[in-house]
C-alpha cells in the first residue's frame, strides 16, 4: 500500500479545487470570443481582450477579470458572484439580470452598460466605479435608486 504524506494530499486537493472551471471553455472563449452558459468559475481572465464576447448565462463566479476589455460584451444573466472586475472596461456591456453579489468593480468603467435588473449590485460597489461620458448623454442603465459617478 502506497502512503502519501498528509501535506501532499492537501496540496493535490488545493490544486484540483482551485481550477473549478472547464479549461476547454476558457480556451473556447479566448479563441472564439463566445462561451454562453459555460463554466468559467474561478478562471483567470485578467487583462483579456473580450470585446463583444458572448458570455450570457456563463458562470464567472470568483473569476479574475481585472483589467479585462469587455466593451459591448453580453453578460446577460451571468453569475459574477465574487468576481474581480476591478479596472475592467465594461462600456456598452449587457449585464441585465447578472448576479454581481460581492463582485469587485472598483475602477471599472461602465459607460453605457445595461445593469438593469442586476442582482446583488449595491451603491457601495458603484461608488468605486465610474462612467466616461465624454460629452455624450447619460446612457448607463442602473437598477432604480442606484447612481454612478463620472470618471475623472
Q: pLDDT 10s digit of each residue in the chain, 152 long? A: 444 443 333 333 333 344 578 899 999 999 999 999 999 999 999 999 999 999 999 999 999 999 999 999 999 999 999 999 999 999 999 999 999 999 999 999 999 999 999 999 999 999 999 998 776 667 899 999 999 999 88
Q: What is the DSSP letter of 23?
A: H
Cell triple for residue 132? 466616461
Burial class for 79, CB neighbours closer than 10 Å (0-12, 13-18, 19+):
buried
In a domain, 131, yes or no: yes
How confident is the model at residue 139, as a pLDDT?
86
How confident is the model at residue 13, as a pLDDT?
31
In a domain, 151, yes or no: no
Total count of domains within the chain:
1
Cell triple for residue 150? 463620472
Please name every residue paired with 109 in a beta bridge, in sequence order, or none if there are none. 89, 130
Within 10 angstroms of residue 90's Cβ, the number of other Cβ atoms is 28
How confident is the model at residue 137, as a pLDDT?
67
Say which CATH number the domain at 128 has.
2.160.20.80
Residues of the domain holding 72: 39-143
Residue 59 · residue 36 · CB < 8 Å:
no
Task: Name every residue whose Cβ is closer than 8 Å to that of residue 60 and which is 6 or more positions away in sequence.
Answer: 40, 41, 43, 75, 78, 79, 80, 83
Instruction: Identify the sign of the CA torsion 13, 48, 116, 145.
Output: positive
Amino acid at each position: 500500500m502506497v502512503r502519501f504524506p498528509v501535506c501532499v494530499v492537501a496540496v493535490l486537493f488545493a490544486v484540483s479545487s482551485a481550477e473549478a472551471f472547464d479549461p476547454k471553455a476558457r480556451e473556447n472563449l479566448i479563441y472564439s470570443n463566445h462561451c454562453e452558459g459555460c463554466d468559467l468559475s474561478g478562471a483567470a481572465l485578467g487583462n483579456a481582450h473580450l470585446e463583444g464576447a458572448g458570455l450570457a448565462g456563463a458562470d464567472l463566479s470568483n473569476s479574475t477579470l481585472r483589467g479585462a476589455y469587455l466593451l459591448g460584451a453580453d453578460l446577460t444573466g451571468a453569475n459574477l458572484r465574487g468576481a474581480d472586475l476591478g479596472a475592467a472596461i465594461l462600456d456598452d456591456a449587457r449585464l441585465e439580470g447578472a448576479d454581481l453579489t460581492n463582485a469587485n468593480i472598483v475602477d471599472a468603467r461602465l459607460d453605457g452598460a445595461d445593469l438593469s435588473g442586476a442582482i446583488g449590485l449595491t451603491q457601495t460597489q458603484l461608488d468605486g466605479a465610474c462612467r466616461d461620458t465624454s460629452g455624450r448623454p447619460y446612457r448607463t442603465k442602473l437598477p432604480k435608486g442606484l447612481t454612478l459617478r463620472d470618471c475623472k
